[in-house]
Amino acid sequence: MSIETDILVIGAGPAGSSAAKHAALNGAKVLMIDKKSEIGTPKRCAEGVSKEGLKTLGIEPSSRWIAKELTGVKFISPNGTSVWLNEERVKLPEAGYILERKIFDKHMAMNAARAGVEIMVKTIATGLKRSEEGIIVSAECMDQSFDIHTKIVIAADGPESRVGRWAGLKTTLKPKDMESCAQFEMARVEMDDPNSIEFYFGSVAPGGYAWIFPKGDDIANVGLGIITTKTDKTAYEHLLEFVSNCPSTQNAQPVELNIGGDPVGGMLKKLVTDNLVIVGDAASQVSPLTGGGIISAMKGGVFAGEVTAAAIEEGNYSQKRLQEYQDKCEVEMVKTFKKELKVKNYLLNLSDEELDSIADAFKNTEFERISTKEIIKVLVKVSPKALLKLGKLF
């Protein structure tokens, strides 16, 4: 058995579904495959997303996949000093949502289907080779092996994309550029403000941070990300310690465990080759500072869908033609990611004591609005080391 299509999308996360939808809307014949039996399961993130990001993408919020609307954020330093920013203190133009990713991802895939995309679940790509017409992907579904003949592949298969590697792209990451993450979804979480997200910094999560993202009632995502070169413990071991010691979670009980990697080294340098582009986590389209990547992945997906569909219409699937996708991503993401990477590297070199002193200074600081840019501006004011390292960023 063999299947023919214009564009094959491998991976049905937010990036893959966005790419597939926009390629189909622009006239291409699109097939999207995903190795899971149920798109969106298991979830692989803390599920936070900005309102502004969804608005930019033209996605209408739905109560079906929004678990919680947020009104504030709380930063906690190693000694417990809290910097609490909510609507009473500051205007929050980018206050966000906590999604129900298992529903949201399925919603995105359904929208792709409505745009004309053919979808195959429980289907895994096992190999790739080039042909005169394009690419032949070997695949398996329910113990049946077959080939998919396609002109262009959009690889949305997650961090360190093996599909990208098959095509000759360098997708392997250095240990310092990949956070190891572990997260519980928990009940009986006792937060001071169940409408605010909480971030915990310092040795609680070496190289990263811990988080509590409320999902309504007493339910929350409780997790952390670490850089493995900065600790002898696993992310799961750090998570168990955090849950035991954090006042909000000492009585909480887990109902789900998620473990995975998060690429935080900035977008990969090369996203395209002849007949293939990579998108989303596969392209490291993730904020190096926050580790968040849903909105940027979907933006990358839109660009990938539009460019590959135009390439199909022109009959030109070369790297040179597909470079337009990379150019769009660089304009949209790379400048911001580079700034965030510098901030991240600065924060990684701070001791718990230095983080405590910065939090103490932040406590009495008046913000007009909340954004990464505004927070870094204040950080530069309160920390001489920050002025030296970050003063020229903004």
Contact indicator for 212, 222 with CB cutoff of 8 Å: yes
Contact indicator for 113, 30 with CB cutoff of 8 Å: no
Same domain assignment for residues 157 and 15: yes
Q: Can you tell me the distance from the alpha carbon of 324 to that of 202, in angstroms, rounded to the nearest whole number?
A: 40
Q: State the pLDDT at residue 367.
A: 63
Same domain assignment for residues 39 and 114: yes
Cα of 352 vs its chain's centroid, Å: 27
Percent of the chain having pLDDT more than 70? 90
pLDDT in tens, 314-351: 999 999 999 999 999 999 999 989 988 888 888 888 88
Joined together, the tokens standing for residue 329 give 């991503």
Same domain assignment for residues 17 and 113: yes
pLDDT in tens, 257-298: 999 999 999 999 999 999 999 999 999 999 998 899 999 999
Same domain assignment for residues 254 and 278: no
Is 137's pLDDT higher than 80? yes
3-state secondary structure of 357: helix
3-state secondary structure of 101: helix
Q: Can you tell me the distance from the alpha carbon of 387 to that of 389, in angstroms, rounded to the nearest whole number?
A: 6
Contact indicator for 9, 16 with CB cutoff of 8 Å: yes
Same domain assignment for residues 143 and 29: yes
Q: State the pLDDT at residue 265.
A: 94
Amino acid at site 33: I
Joined together, the tokens standing for residue 284 give 């490291």
Could you give the C-alpha distances from 7 to 24, 60, 118, 127, in angstroms and in order?
Answer: 9, 27, 11, 16
Place of tokens 């190999």: 127
Is 90's pLDDT higher than 70? no
Among the ranges given (47-56, 144-153, 286-295, 343-352), the one the predictor scored with the smallest mean pLDDT: 343-352
Same domain assignment for residues 284 and 197: no
Joined together, the tokens standing for residue 187 give 């009940």
Q: Provide the pLDDT confidence category of residue 373 given band limits of 50, 70 and 90.
A: low
Mean pLDDT of 19-44: 95
Amino acid at site 254: P
Same domain assignment for residues 28 and 121: yes
Same domain assignment for residues 87 and 192: yes
Percent of the chain having pLDDT more than 90? 75
Relative to beta strand 30-33, strand 118-120 is parallel
Mean pLDDT of 12-18: 97
Average pLDDT of the chain to the nearest whole number: 91
**Number of domain units in the chain:** 3
Q: Can you tell me the distance from the alpha carbon of 362 to that of 357, in angstroms, rounded to the nearest whole number?
A: 9
Same domain assignment for residues 272 and 146: yes
Q: State the pLDDT at residue 83.
A: 85
Contact indicator for 301, 279 with CB cutoff of 8 Å: yes
Helices 335-348 & 372-382 angle (0-180, nearest 10): 40
Contact indicator for 76, 200 with CB cutoff of 8 Å: yes
Same domain assignment for residues 164 and 179: no
Q: Provide the pLDDT confidence category of residue 204 given band limits of 50, 70 and 90.
A: very high
Q: Can you tell me the distance from the alpha carbon of 268 to that of 279, in angstroms, rounded to the nearest whole number?
A: 10
Greatest mean pLDDT among 23-32, 284-293, 383-392 lies in: 23-32
Contact indicator for 253, 246 with CB cutoff of 8 Å: no
Report the CATH number that the domain containing residue 197 is assigned in CATH.
3.30.9.10
Is 388's pLDDT higher than 70? no
Mean pLDDT of 190-216: 94
392 versus 216: the higher-pLDDT residue is 216
Same domain assignment for residues 109 and 238: no
Q: Provide the pLDDT confidence category of residue 391 given band limits of 50, 70 and 90.
A: low
Contact indicator for 265, 176 with CB cutoff of 8 Å: yes
Among the ranges given (91-105, 107-121, 287-301, 325-339), the one the predictor scored with the smallest mean pLDDT: 91-105
Domain that residue 378 falls in: 349-390
Q: Provide the pLDDT confidence category of residue 52 given band limits of 50, 70 and 90.
A: confident
Q: What is the pTM of this model?
A: 0.92
Is 362's pLDDT higher than 90? no
Q: Can you tell me the distance from the alpha carbon of 54 to that of 37, in angstroms, rounded to the nearest whole number?
A: 27
Considering only CA atoms, which of 249, 239, 198 is closest in space to residue 82?
A: 198
Q: State the pLDDT at residue 343.
A: 84
Let me know if 229 is exposed, middle or buried by CB neighbors in 10 A (0-12, 13-18, 19+): exposed
Is 374's pLDDT higher than 70? no
Is 45's pLDDT higher than 90? no
Report the CATH number that the domain containing residue 339 is assigned in CATH.
3.50.50.60
